[in-house]
Structure 1
Amino acid sequence: MEFFNNIEKIKYEGPKTDNIFAFHHYNPEEVVLGKPMKEHLKFAVAYWHTFNQDGSDPFGKATNIRNWNTKDLMETAKNKVDAAFEFFEKLGVEYFCFHDMDVAPFGNNLEEFFNNLDAITDYMKEKMDKTGIKLLWNTADRHSNPIYVNGAASSPNVDVYAISAAQVKKGIDISKKLGGKNFVFWGGREGYECFLNTDIKFEEENIARLYKMAVAYTKKINHKLTFLIEPKPKEPMAHQYDFDAATTLAFLQRYDLMEDFKLNIEANHAMLAGHTFEHELNIARNYNALGSIDANQGDSLLGWDTDEFPTNIYDTTLVMIEILKNGGLHDGGINFDAKVRRSSFEQEDLFLAHIAGMDTYARGLKAAARIIESGYLDNLKKDRYSSYENEVGKKLLNGETNLEDLTEYALSVKEVKNKSSHIEYVKSKLNDLIY
């Protein structure tokens, strides 16, 4: 069965086309900074939002029209695999991501769930072998099952902890079967609802124990993986332990996990933490820990995770500067962890939304390349910190000075002359380079 029979393969037609089912800016073979655009932009489709999300919200029932749903859960799961790979091929996306609960029904118990996962992922592998489409990353959904009401690896109940660990093991096994390069830990409920009854140190130590067991298991089965942690400050818990990039990196350093873990940074989560997306990417990059990104955007007027498709060129430009400065995302990619708006309920809107996101990132990539090639931002920063190129500054940076020497120098300074940052001009110049 063809699920998108009214959609042809999406092609690049340029910015002047009137065809809404065409790329206006994303040209996969166009060379930017020495590489085809498709190598810079390793796009992935998020299975959960694209094939599971139904358009419901806390104030209304489902609106989305989807032709793969049936009354039989396993039949529906198989239909979704067929629909997904048809979608990937027509969109021209080479990667996808999923949670275990996205692709197979849980059934009556953990054993039945694992059997369902085996059946569906075997079918996925057939599709992957046939199409060449690859798994960017998978993860274990350790938040939606009611048993995880008080967390998963942070749960006060050891039975829940064990089931959580079993899902992680199964997820790693599936990753090996499907040739995955990354495995994500998103602590959906790894945090606290009430500070008064929570032992934070105990819970964080238990989370670290699970992560170390996961690393040990990949070595045991000889499956090379990069583990990714996805920071989020709140929602659904009042406070989540992976609050932001800096907090997560502190955790990884404390528990000696930096060698095997990097970060999967999401735009909307950065906003909820009070940061910009580019800030979080830069912090991760500074620690050589930028692994992958979830490409979406939030609404600053709304205080929750709206997961909108990215359409802001200014934002994607700054993001792509960080990715290019990182030398790319290596084994990671750009996963559209985004859902169509509730009013975009037709099945074809899935294509329109992804086209919009891919075109926006393509424009961001080209603008970022122009900015990097111009040297404007690099020169701006070099000039701002130029005082450290004098004798005192060089000694400081080389670790060749002390408080006594700096005090002697400070007493010799007769007048401090700071430079204006010209912030307004800088932002205006950035607009010129982008647009």
Structure 2
Amino acid sequence: MKRIGRFMLLLSVCLSLLAYIAGSSNTCPANLEAKCGDDSSDDWKGEFFPDIPKIKYEGPTSKNPLAYKWYNAEEVILGKKMKDWFRFSVAFWHTFRGTGADPFGAPTKSWPWEDGTNSVAMAKRRMRAHFEFINKLGVNRWCFHDRDIAPDANTLSETNANLDQVVELAKELQEGTDIRPLWGTAQLFLHPRYMHGAATSSELGVYAYAAAQVKKALEVTHYLGGENYVFWGGREGYQTLLNTDMKKELDHLAAFLQAAVDYKKKIGFKGTLLIEPKPQEPTKHQYDWDAATSFAFLQKYGLTGEFKLNIECNHATLSGHSCHHELETSRINGLLGNIDANTGDPQIGWDTDQFLTDIAEATLVMLSVVRNGGLAPGGFNFDAKLRRESTDVEDLFIAHISGMDTLARGLRNVAKLNEDGSLTELVRKRYQSFDSEIGALIEAGKGDFETLEKKAMEWGEPTVSSGKQELAEMLFQSAL
């Protein structure tokens, strides 16, 4: 009996070893010590997250970190399914190209599927991991920079060829699914050629190169069925005005954006063009400092009908505003197109790109989205990265789950506020003196000074009511 027992134990071990060997060729262990086997071919079709199940909704009482507690995609809130309010998108660059590096620290992450190269084969493997991640997370949109999904090369034509190969794979992986890019963009800042900016560069050759790169990125976004295209400013500004012809650079930029509008129409791209305000990245004189500055630029050059804004909450912090302020400024002016779902640290003064976890901030964000009637064809993309010390593959899922649940709680809180109605009624009462004949004239733009002077004489010293600020805050907090 002992011999039989030993034999069975040995057989079990052998079978387990054979299973491991067989499995090692088509799985990618979720830890930093393991790699995806020796197969480095670009058509490797293994599983990159073998220990991660498809993420499901389990409700607020769930203790499972790999489950949604508040985001229930098919649940209807305020007349729309939750998935339609959010239109969540995975950002390729932070999720699959983030290294954990910061200005004072070396990279802390190297995912199991990475081989240390920036080859086309590696780019294709990374794209496959990306699509598995999207499917397991349960979203159907993604967004990208051209140079993050495919490597740069020695010439523009060679670089375009690299991009074409990876894009063909992405197109193949999209087939038979409803996954499409929320938006695409050209990365016009990392390469040294863009040290003076791209469309604002003082060098004509750089301007032309940037135009060619945007042309290709627009074509790629259109080919993949993208719904929007974003212009990331960032370097489109100046540290000093002493050696800069600001008007010339703004004129050049406007011409560049108009050319993009023209080419979009020429190729039949129906998506929305977006500008993202990007203060202090790393310049201090910018056309896109905040929503209001961007709006002024678009107005001056007659582009307001062609562009909307992509608002990043972290950038609102850097510009000295709240995210809610930037969203409302955009919404009121008909420019709210998309939201980068992240947050920053008000004390650091840099773009920390943290996942949004503040329930109050998320509720204010969703107040603007609901007032806007939604974001389609825009949505929420997670321009957010793991903290430097978060190095497990499962952390990628946990971070996105947390961000999605936070915004879902924000939406649920807005529904509570709407159902209760107390905050809405408080605001209505504060302005009820305008619910009069004279008030209606003013709001119609017909309140002339002569009439108002006559009324002021007639009414005497006005009575000023309390703004009830603390009550407003109490009502808001009661919904959190």
Superposition TM-score, scaled by structure 1 size: 0.97
From 223, 227, 231, the equivalent of 2:277 is 231
Checking the alignment, whether the CA contact within 8 Å between 2:54 and 2:135 is kept in structure 1 is yes
Amino-acid identity (%): 50
Residue in structure 2 matched with residue 304 of structure 1 by the alignment: 350
- The question of 1:346 aligning with 2:346 is answered no
Shift of 1:61: 1.2
Question: 2:265 is matched with which residue: 209, 219, 222?
Answer: 219
Q: How does 1:95-110 map to 2 (within 5 A)?
A: 95-110=141-156
Structure 2 Cα separation of the partners of residues 69 and 187 of structure 1: 30
**Per the alignment, in what secondary structure is the counterpart of residue 90 of structure 2?**
strand
| Counterpart pick for 1:263 among 286, 309, 312 | 309
Q: 1:365 aligns with which of 406, 411, 427?
A: 411
Q: 1:20 aligns with which of 40, 60, 65?
A: 65
User: Residue 195 in 1 paired to residue 241 in 2?
Assistant: yes
Output the CA distance in 2 between the equivalents of 1:14 and 1:396: 49
Count of aligned residue pairs for this structure pair: 434
2:83 corresponds to: 38
Confirm or deny: 8 A CA contact 1:321 1:372 kept in the other structure. no
For residue 58 of structure 2, give the secondary structure of its aligned residue in structure 1: coil
Equivalent pair of 2:423/2:475 in contact (CA under 8 Å): no
The CA deviation at 1:123 is 0.6
Is the radius of gyration larger for structure 1 or structure 2? 2
The one-letter code matched in structure 2 to 1:38 is: K
- 1:68 Cα deviation from its structure 2 partner: 2.1
Q: Tell me what 1:331 maps to.
A: 377
2:108 is aligned to: 63
Extract unaligned runs of 5+ from structure 1: none
Q: Report the Cα distance in structure 2 between the residues aligned to 1:79 and 1:401, rounded to whole angstroms.
A: 65
Aligned residue identity for 2:90: V
Alpha-carbon distance in 2 for matches of 1:303, 1:214: 32
Please tell me whether the aligned partners of residues 192 and 240 of structure 1 are also in contact (alpha carbons under 8 angstroms): yes
Show the 5 A alignment for 1:78-93: 78-93=124-139
What is the rounded CA distance, in whole Å, between the counterparts of 2:346 and 2:139 in structure 1? 29
How well do the aligned residues superpose, as a CA RMSD in angstroms? 1.2
List structure 1 segments (4+ residues) > 6 angstroms apart after TM superposition. none
Deviation of 1:373 after TM superposition, in Å, equals 2.8
Moved more, 234-243 or 419-428: 234-243
1:159-170 superposed matches below 5 A: 159-170=205-216
Code of the aligned partner of 1:403 = F
* Distance in structure 2 (CA, Å) of the matches to 1:97 and 1:401: 48
One-letter code of the match for 2:264?
A: T
For residue 54 of structure 1, report the CA deviation from its aligned partner: 0.6
- TM-aligned CA deviation for residue 222 of structure 1: 1.6
User: Any gaps of 5 or more consecutive residues in structure 2?
Assistant: 1-45
For each residue in 1:177-206, what CA deviation from the matched residue of structure 2 results, as whole angstroms up to 9, or x when unmatched? Answer: 101110000112000122101111111111
Q: CA deviation at 1:3?
A: 1.1
Q: Is the 8 A contact 1:25 1:359 kept in 2?
A: yes
**SS at structure 1 position matched to 2:183:** strand
Question: Aligned partner of 1:107: which letter?
Answer: A
Work out whether 1:381 is the aligned partner of 2:436. no
Equivalent in the alignment of 1:50: 95
Q: Which amino acid aligns with 2:394?
A: E
2:340·2:383 contact (CA, 8 Å) conserved in 1?
yes
- Give how far 1:365 is off: 0.7
* Counterpart Cα distance in 2 of 1:279 and 1:152: 29
